[in-house]
């Protein structure tokens, strides 16, 4: 009886695993990543889409131009992503073109945004944001609220900041509005 060559078995097993990994990666690129990128780039304002893995979820990074209605654009991006990846299987991030000045303005108003999110008093939140942004060096801003998020978009010259604040934690607790 011949002696079993375990080194050859380990090498063969490792090569098989590597081949399977690369085959699965190629299939995922062709059946998931490429169609998702194409579907998202069809949306007005989407300039670039980057996909990567983050733990067990897909990270979808969307380079977004300044749009008329961040709420509508976010919902469309989210719907198309969920249709391909499945709800809860991804994290969506938006890249904007923020300047230090816009970040400073956002840091001033984000307290009112989060307070509005926690208390559910969106009218007071909108008044406070309007008061702050009208006195700041911002050319344009828009504030939207829906059942899932609070959206703030600000523009100053060529720079713009897009912020999406998740309301799901509040909804789970039961909103008292």
| Lookup result for tokens 């969506």 | 92
- The confidence band for 32, taking pLDDT boundaries of 50, 70 and 90, is low
Q: Are residues 68 and 83 in the same domain?
A: yes
Token duo for residue 132? 């702050």
Tell me, yes or no, whether 10 and 91 share the same domain: yes
Q: What is the pLDDT of residue 169?
A: 58
**15/89 same-domain check:** yes
Same-domain status, 145 and 166: yes
The DSSP annotation for 1-41 comes to: -PPP-HHHHHHHHHHHHHHHHHHHHHHHIIIIIHHHHHHHH
Per the structure, how many domains does the chain have?
Answer: 2
Report the DSSP pairing between strands 57-64 and 46-54: antiparallel
**Same domain membership, residue 128 and residue 81:** no
Q: Tell me, yes or no, whether 139 and 72 share the same domain.
A: no
Q: State pTM to two decimals.
A: 0.77
**Any domain includes 1:** no
CB 151 within 8 A of CB 70: yes
| pLDDT at residue 175 tops 50 | no
Domain around 42: 6-95
What share of the chain in percent tops pLDDT 70? 85
Q: Is the pLDDT of residue 171 over 90?
A: no
- Listed residues 42, 60, 95: the one ending a domain: 95
């Amino acid at each position: 009886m011949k002696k079993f060559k375990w080194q050859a078995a380990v090498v063969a097993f490792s090569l098989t695993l590597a081949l399977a990994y690369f085959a699965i990666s190629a299939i995922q690129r062709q059946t998931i990543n490429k169609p998702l990128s194409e579907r998202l780039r069809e949306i007005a304002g989407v300039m670039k889409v980057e996909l990567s893995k983050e733990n067990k979820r897909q990270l979808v990074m969307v380079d977004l131009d300044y749009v008329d209605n961040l709420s509508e654009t976010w919902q469309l991006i989210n719907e198309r992503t969920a249709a391909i990846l499945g709800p809860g299987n991804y994290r969506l991030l938006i890249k904007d073109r923020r300047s230090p000045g816009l970040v400073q303005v956002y840091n001033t108003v984000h307290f009112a945004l989060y307070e509005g999110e926690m208390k559910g008093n969106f009218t007071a939140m909108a008044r406070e944001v309007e008061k702050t942004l009208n006195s700041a060096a911002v050319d344009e801003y828009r504030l939207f609220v829906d059942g899932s998020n609070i959206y703030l978009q600000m523009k100053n010259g060529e720079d713009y900041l897009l912020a999406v604040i998740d309301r799901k934690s509040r909804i789970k607790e039961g909103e008292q509005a």
